[in-house]
Amino acid sequence: MNSTHLLVAADAVSRQYGQGLSAVVAVSTATCEVEPGARIALVGPSGSGKSTLLQLLGGLDVPDGGQIAWPALGSRDELRPGKVAYVFQTPSLLPALSVVENVELPLLLGNRAPALARRAACASLDQLGLTHLAERLPEELSGGQAQRVAVARALVAKPRLILADEPTGQLDHATAAQLLDSLLAALVGTDTALLIATHDRAVAGRMERSWQMQHGILEVS
């Protein structure tokens, strides 16, 4: 089977923290694939290894066993910035930068000219209805606003894959729904894949399919 179109292909990937008696197996022989345009929920209780798997799939961490490849994206070093973007559970904006500076950061890191980066950041904020917050500092935002800015930052470089780690975990249901609406709306018409780790069934229900994670073992449906 031709797998060159796949964004991620993980084969029997494992990750363990610590050694000896205190060793914790976070991910055990996980095998999965992510195609362009996929909408996947990674569901499981806290501590089941969801965040570790996302970090491995995004190239932020290196597996102890098994292999991960990014056939359509290139090598691990080529993933970020641009091709893979993250949205974290807790506010992950740089506190010393304003909202618009936070959003343009991935473009600047990708060596985009500052003026072009600023224009794209403004467009991304506008897309999510956040233009009025552009000059504020992260500490001046509510939790929901900060997460929406984080989504804008993830979208600004038009990545092929977005990995979101419990992005609504600290939000109330209404704000969580609003955030998810914004994210999904922004992805309409693109082939950007979305892999979202959650233990919220409502969130998982809005994805095309779900993967289950339990004690580090992944079940792909």
Question: Mask 11-50, x = binds other proteins (CB under 8 A)?
Answer: ----------------------------------------
- Shortest distance (Å) from residue 175 CB to other proteins: 19
Quick one: tokens of 47? 């501590």
Size of the site for other proteins (CB under 8 A): 34
Q: How far apart are CA 194 and CA 160, in angstroms?
A: 9
Rounded to a whole number of angstroms, the minimum distance from the CB of residue 56 to other proteins is: 9
Interaction of residue 211 with other proteins, rule CB under 8 A: no
Does 160 help bind other proteins (rule: CB under 8 A)?
no
Q: Which residue lies nearer to other proteins by CB, 12 or 94?
A: 94
Residues 50-89 that bind other proteins (CB under 8 A): 51, 55, 60-61, 79-82, 85-86, 88-89
Q: Contacting other proteins (CB under 8 A), which of 92, 124, 145, 192? A: 92
Least distance to other proteins, CB of residue 210, Å: 23
Q: Which is nearer to other proteins, 12 or 109 (CB)?
A: 109
Interface positions with other proteins (CB under 8 A): 51, 55, 60-61, 79-82, 85-86, 88-90, 92-98, 101, 104-106, 108-114, 137, 139, 153
